Amino acid sequence: MAPTPTAPARPLTDGYGRRISYLRISVTDRCDLRCRYCMSEKMQFLPRRDILSFEEIDMIASAFVARGVRRIRLSGGEPLVRKGVVDLAHRLGRHLESGDLDELTMTSNATRLARHAEALVDAGIGRINVSLDTRDPETFRYITRWGELEKTLEGIAAAKAAGLEVKINMVALKGLNDDQIVPMMRWCASEGHGLTLIETMPLGRIDDDRHDRYLPLDAVQRDLEEQFQLVPLAERTGGPARYWKVEELGLKLGLITPLTNNFCDGCNRVRITVSGQIYMCLGHDDHLDLKTALRKGGTEALDRVLDRAMTLKPKQHDFSISGDSDTPSVARHMSVTGG
């Protein structure tokens, strides 16, 4: 018999009546790649003294679970570069066993996934979202600056062999990988992976011009509909993607469109940074300090900050992208709050 979940004492509900049931936790701001749309080549990372311990991450995550969060995603940066992250997943996995958590997932670039895939399954992680923008080795090395495609493909294969569900996340980049979208769809379909296309997001100052690479996904969808039958799916996974079934391929295709189609009306998520800040919206800089609350006042103080956070969650993000300025909509990089 499945365990009976514990009813949350006070569900987390924002000022627009949206129930918060999805928590994304960045366990590190570091990454072993430097994808051009995400990071500058030379990044300044946080000193280790400023980041949450795994014990603190566990306490914060458990506080959210007690308030009704049903899904948790571990992210970064690249979460597998932080030593001991599998042990953290094991800790959080107890909420799956109790029935208080429905899903524990991870976002990864898969460069280190081959050595960790089986342990992640044992910890309770059921799905890996893998960032893979191309299967062409030269384009892959250019986008990531020094990545080796073979390592990522080995990691994906190991995840599949271990029994993990794999979903590929592909950032659509004009003039760089737009000709590889259909081949990626066909490959994902043949491997049994889902595929989500993502518009580049104006987060953090980078070395490249995002406007030059911005590819509106409404245009991509129109092009795809000339080749395939796209059947809308009602399915939602708790994230911002809208899904279609590509009939000819048997592929589930997701589109994340922060710029061409605002997806905030049903937002059910908040993000915790590696330094213990809660961001109520990816597209706003407003945040509150959970780390200090926990260290100074324990779980009661933490609970009060969560209540305050709900009053500050905005109705929608303010993302925009323009060729007139190289200033991003949000100053912090994606790796700070996690994907």
Q: Report helix, strand or coil for 199.
A: strand
Is residue 24 marked as binding? Answer: yes
Cα torsion 202, 204, 209, 215: sign: negative
269 is in an annotated binding site: yes
Q: Taking the chain, what is the end-to-end CA distance rounded to the nearest angstrom?
A: 34
Place of tokens 């007139």: 324
Q: Binding residue per annotation — 237?
A: no
Both tokens of 92, joined, read: 């959080």
Name the token pair of 90.
């094991």
Annotated ligand binding at 271? The verdict is yes
Answer yes or no: is 264 a known binding residue.
Answer: yes
The verdict on whether residue 281 carries a ligand-binding annotation is yes
Residue 260, Cβ neighbours under 10 Å: how many? 15
Contact between 320 and 329 (Cβ < 8 Å): yes
208 in Cβ contact with 183 (< 8 Å):
no
Find out whether 335 is annotated in a ligand binding site.
no
Instruction: Please indicate if the annotation marks 37 as binding a ligand.
Output: yes
What token pair was written down for 112?
A: 């280190």
- 246 forms beta bridges with 230, 251
Torsion of CA 164, 21, 46, 292, to 10 degrees: -140
Find out whether 236 is annotated in a ligand binding site.
no
How many Cα atoms occupy the beta-carbon half-sphere of 315 within 13 Å? 1
List phi, psi (to 5°) of 234: -80, -10
Is 107 marked as binding a ligand? yes
Q: Could you give the CA distance from residue 260 to residue 8 in angstroms, rounded to a whole number?
A: 36
Pair 195, 251: CB distance under 8 Å: yes
Q: Is there a binding annotation on residue 327?
A: no
Q: Is 18 annotated as a binding residue?
A: no
167 is known to lie in a ligand binding site: yes
Nearest CA among 37, 39, 331 for reference residue 200: 37
Is 275 labelled as part of a ligand binding site?
no
Distance (Å, whole) CA 13 – CA 175? 42
For 12, which DSSP code? -
CA distance 328 to 3: 46
Detail the residues annotated as belonging to a binding site for [4Fe-4S] cluster: 31, 35, 38, 264, 267, 281
Binding-site sequence positions = 24, 31, 35, 37-38, 73, 77, 107, 131, 167, 201, 264, 267, 269-271, 281
Which residues participate in the annotated binding site for GTP? 24, 73, 107, 167, 269-271
Feature table: binding site for S-adenosyl-L-methionine = 37, 77, 131, 201
